[in-house]
Structure 1
Amino acid sequence: MVGAQRFSNIVSHPRFEGPVISFRSGKSFFVILNNAAAIHDLLQTRSKLYSDRPSSVMLQLVQQDRIFTRLSSQDPHFPIYRRMAQEEMGTRGISRLLPILDENIPTLLKNLLSDDENFSTHLRNCQSSSIMKAIYGYSVKSGDDHFIKIVERWWLVVNAYLRPGIWLVDSYPILKFLPRWMPGAGFWKFASATRTQTNEALSSAFIWAQAEIKGGKASPSFVSRQLARHVDSSPEYTEIIKQVTGTMYVAGVDTVLSAMRTFVLMMVLNPDVQRRGQEEIDRVIGSDRLPLTSDRGDLPYIDALAKEVLRFHPPGPLGLAHSVTEDDIYNGMLIPKGSIVVPNIWAVTHDKTLYPNPMKFDPLRYFNVQLEKKQLQPDPRNYVYGFGRRVCGGMLFADAAVFTQIAAILSIFTISKEIDQFGKEITPIVDFTGGIVTHPEDFVCKFTARSREAVELVTAAMENRQG
């Protein structure tokens, strides 16, 4: 479950052919959904049965079974989690958050102008800054920010080691009763360290926001609005706010970063696509200002480019696992209660019947020949952001962030291959890391300002932001 080629090998392996495949690992029964129809039929149409999350001994030990993305749908607090996320980041609440995305763009562009070698760091910091402001009302001052570093360290561990099937104790729960000194009980050491990191990652910025609110200095945010609505809330309700907001921050940074790194890689390898995007921006926006989130409806090619980034490599190629709450039959196949059901999003977004020539990066697949907006091929966002009752609560914010960063970068820069010491171009290899959220393997490239006026525009935008 890593790079494009390796995903292709997995999906094409005879054992994994077919819309639905199943296998047993220890005491766990896995069901993999390999096409759009199976995902729609089970995770959408039968979402009442398929909205649970698999139970996990390790998640309980590291205290991550209470975060929004992992919480069981059978938990009485689950509807509260969903309602809270919808209030703040759904269709009604998103409009007050979008200006935050625009505000952080000048800093991103300035950093890319001065240090394009570390473009991934600048992209991460941009998204971290936007989410910290939206969630906690916190303004990030530098890339070495204390709160950002706490979450980064924690996420590196979570992304690598908390996937289904990684820990034997999840397949054989009786192992949790092993004394910590016995062979095979090494998971206890990992659980203890990660539990501490989890508490720190979810609590540190939240505690800061509470103190700001108490001192009357808080900026409007997800936390401030929710606490204001529930002034006399119980400690239990305050804990729910902390869990939801912490989840939003953690989930929203790495997924957007993955998409943006894929975008940069695709621009290096597809200069014609890049030029077409720049031409649309020049024609619609001009050179006197930066693109804004509100320009999306006027930039259909950039919008399609953002979709194609998500299709070409979904940030989470294997979606978060679901669990079925009772026995079910699908096309004659028994899916037992408690089965771990995994949507193979990568397989869907590379299904030749949905997306002809799927390994070609082509934003025009979402248009007709006359370039009038028309969905000839499915919108990949229908698959990338989750399904049914488990759809991503921060989907609108994340999607707007990807569009806004893409539009702004193309308005100022041309992204191209780096040149080695012998004067030859370095062509990046298209491959991806492992984990819950996957990224392009490290590669080098150049960000070159398109003109002197582009540099001056960034300088003016920074002055306006600081003034």
Structure 2
Amino acid sequence: MELPPTVTICVLCTLLAAIYAAFKPRRGPLPPGPRGYPIIGNTLQMPREHAWVTFAQWAKDYGPIIHLSVLGSPLFVLNSPDVISELLEKRSAIYSDRPVIPMAGELIGFSEYMTLNRYGDRLRESRKLMLGALSPRSAPALNAIEEVKALELLPRLLHAPAQFRAHLRWLVASVVYQVTHGYRVESCEDPLVQSAERLNDLFGRLLEPGAFLVDSFPFLRHIPDWFPGAGFKAVAKREREALIKARDEPYDMVREQVIRGTATPSFVADLVERNSNPTPEEDNLYRSVATVFYLGGSDTSVSALESFFLIMLLYPEVQRKAQAELDCVLEPGQLPKFSDRSRLRYLSALLLEVHRWNPVVPISIPHCVTEDNVFQGYLIPKGSSVIANTWAILHNPDLYPDPFEVVPERYLKQDSPAKSEKINPDPRAFVFGYGRRACPGQMLAEDTLFIAAATILAMFDIAKALGPDGAPIEPKVQYDGGIICHPSPFDCRITPRSKEAERFMRNIAV
């Protein structure tokens, strides 16, 4: 059978690339890894889902840094905090680039956004803008928004508890759009939210290995649209237009409000007021950064909140301890505030376990090395992709005893001066990224999770759903295998903790 021209060309290029890679002189040996096949290397061995689990298993055989070859391209997986610290943080000057991802980055346009920015001035400017808006100086204003949104979450959970996942999505979207655009989100059916959520889902699928042939064979982006196998170009054109629309519609809305003098304080309104006549480059930067607030952080925050609910089902004794602490700290009829946070030590420890137990991003988006680098006698060649296996670190029993159990107390034993900092380290050092690619929205994400969890536990009990026979239904503890992991759908009972709590929530206006 005759092969399509596109496939034939790709096979020939794979052979040439593999031969070149095999005979290219190197400055030193590569780290160990599973033995691959001639030409294609480890391509067929690469796990399609839950790669972090497979990588953690391989680390037991090959050590904390694993070398893989995927169609001639080197990939290094880091499985220990020491190695990650040395390479991605101490050597961040050469480990902070991103590899070129043709479909997502160049053809659809995600390379203009912070997550896939190449390392350089645009990334630095983007981070500066975002960190400026989310600085500790801005915390009081941001916290006020989050407290109001957490309050408005309560009647939604009261009246439609079975829709708790949709309510969590509303909460995160409501906070983010209020902060970035001064925009009030009434429901998840809001067209702006629908558009952004669709792009979030698309971005996750685009980063899955082997999603599009052009990512393995970048030259294909230059083939004519009519060429056999070029259907990806029509997909890219459609999604690029959708991305531009999701970026521009809310931004232009705020810009018009600023001109009319009706804008609500927000990140975008502040940008427009400070620079009413930006250059085309500045205008593009402002729009992309405003979009990244949602595209970069909403799905991860929703995943963390979903894990919080799942943990409450599985560990009712943990829930009771957190509620007892809230009852002790709060006055009767009072809702938690950020000012109470320092006294809610058990709840804070519980949220650290939410981050650790099933990290929302189990393996990092690949970093790219910008020059040859030698580490412990091994060569990391220029242009290699490097990923951190966050899941492996957070489930290493040498770091976290009983890693598959939720144990908030593990973080409350730090008072002992003799305690080693290497046991039960703060998981936030790992879950928010590394080095110069660390998440600039960490403060907003942590604050939203805290106030939501505290408010929910102050007013509700969360328990397993009941079957037709009245027996509790055991939830299936399983997470999907995407870039951002969500727990599989599960049901639960969400009931007011008291008649007084129910009356209070019924009187909240939304």
- What SS does the aligned partner of 2:114 have? coil
Task: State the one-letter code of the partner of 1:103.
Answer: V
Runs of 4+ residues deviating >6 angstroms: 1-4, 369-372
Amino acid at match of 1:388: G
Distance 2:176 2:61 in 1: 38
1:449 aligns with 2:496: yes
* C-alpha distance 73-253 of structure 1, shift in aligned 2 (>3 A): same
Can you list the C-alpha shifts for 1:278-322, whole angstroms capped at 9, x where unaligned? 000000013312112232111011111111100011111111211
Query: Pick from 350, 365, 368: which aligns with 1:323?
Result: 368
CA distance in 1, matches of 2:192, 2:463: 33
Compute the displacement of 1:61 (Å). 0.0
The match for 1:199 is: 244
Q: CA, structure 1 residues 46+13, in 2 after alignment: closer, same or farther (shift >3 Å)?
A: closer
CA 1:97 to 1:18, structure 2 compared with 1: closer, same or farther past 3 Å? Answer: same
User: Quick one: which of 56, 67, 73 aligns to 2:119?
Assistant: 73
Considering only CA atoms, is the larger Rg found in Structure 1 or Structure 2?
Answer: 2
| Aligned counterpart for 1:408 among listed residues 451, 455, 463 | 455
Give the Å deviation of 1:187: 1.9
1:159 equivalent in alignment to 2:159? no
Q: Displacement, 1:13? A: 4.0
Does 2:327 correspond to 1:272?
A: no
Shift of the alpha carbon at 1:370? 7.8
Name the aligned partner's letter for residue 354 of structure 2: V
Whole-Å Cα distance in 2 between the matches of residues 9 and 177 of structure 1? 35
Q: What is the match of residue 445 of structure 2?
A: 398
* Distance (whole Å) between structure 1 residues aligned to residue 304 and residue 293 of structure 2: 17
The alpha-carbon distance between structure 1 residues 80 and 8, as it changes in their structure 2 partners (threshold 3 A), is closer
Mapped pair 1:139 → 2:184: yes
Deviation at 1:434, TM superposition (A): 2.3
Return the alpha-carbon distance in structure 1 between the equivalents of residues 331 and 61 of structure 2. 49
When normalised by structure 1's length, the TM-score is 0.94
Alignment partner of 1:98 is 2:143: yes
Structure 1: give runs of 5+ residues left out of the alignment.
none
Residues 345, 383 of structure 1: 8 Å contact kept: yes
1:20 pairs with one of 45, 55, 65: 65
Secondary structure, aligned partner of 1:49: coil
Distance 1:421 1:98, change over 3 A: same
Deviations 1:155-187 (A, max 9, x none): 122212333543321221122223333343232
* d(CA) in 2 for partners of 1:371, 1:117: 43
Match of 1:352 among 397, 400, 403: 397
CA distance in 2, matches of 1:114, 1:137: 27
Kindly state the Cα deviation for residue 62 of structure 1 after the two structures are TM-superposed: 0.3
**For 1:308-343, what per-residue CA distance to the aligned partner results, in whole angstroms no more than 9, with x for missing partners?**
100011111111211111111111111111111111
Contact 2:55 2:77 in 1 (8 A): no
Mapped partners of 1:50, 1:185: distance in 2 = 33
Matching residue's letter, 2:379? L
Per the TM alignment, residue 371 of structure 1 is displaced from its structure 2 partner at its CA by 10
1:67-466 equivalences in 2 (<5 Å): 67-74=113-120, 76-368=121-413, 377-460=424-507, 462-463=508-509
Asked if structure 2 preserves the Cα contact closer than 8 Å seen for 1:3 and 1:431, the reply is no
Inter-partner Cα distance in structure 2 for 1:117 and 1:420: 14
Amino acid at match of 1:38: V
Higher RCO (CA-CA < 8 Å; seq separation 6+): 1
Provide the alpha-carbon RMSD of the alignment.
2.1
Equivalent in 39, 42, 54 of residue 99 of structure 2: 54
Q: Which amino acid aligns with 1:368?
A: K
Aligned residue pairs: how many? Answer: 460
The question of whether the paired residues in 2 share the 8 Å contact of 1:2 and 1:435 is answered with no
8 Å Cα contact 1:2-1:438 kept in structure 2: no
Contact 2:205 2:211 in 1 (8 A): no
TM-score between the two structures when normalised by the length of structure 2: 0.86
- Structure 2 vs 1, CA of residues 322 and 191 (structure 1 numbering), >3 Å: closer, same or farther? same
Aligned residues of 1:287 and 1:453 also touching (Cα < 8 A): no
> Cα deviations across residues 383-441 of structure 1 (Å, max 9, x unaligned)?
11111111111110001111111111111111111111122211011111122211001
What is residue 39 of structure 1 aligned with on the other side? 84
Return the offset for 1:227: 2.1
Q: Contact 1:90/1:394 (CA < 8 Å) preserved in 2?
A: no
Give distance in 1, aligned partners of 2:460 and 2:55: 37
Give 1:95 shift. 3.0
SS of alignment partner, residue 426 of structure 1: coil
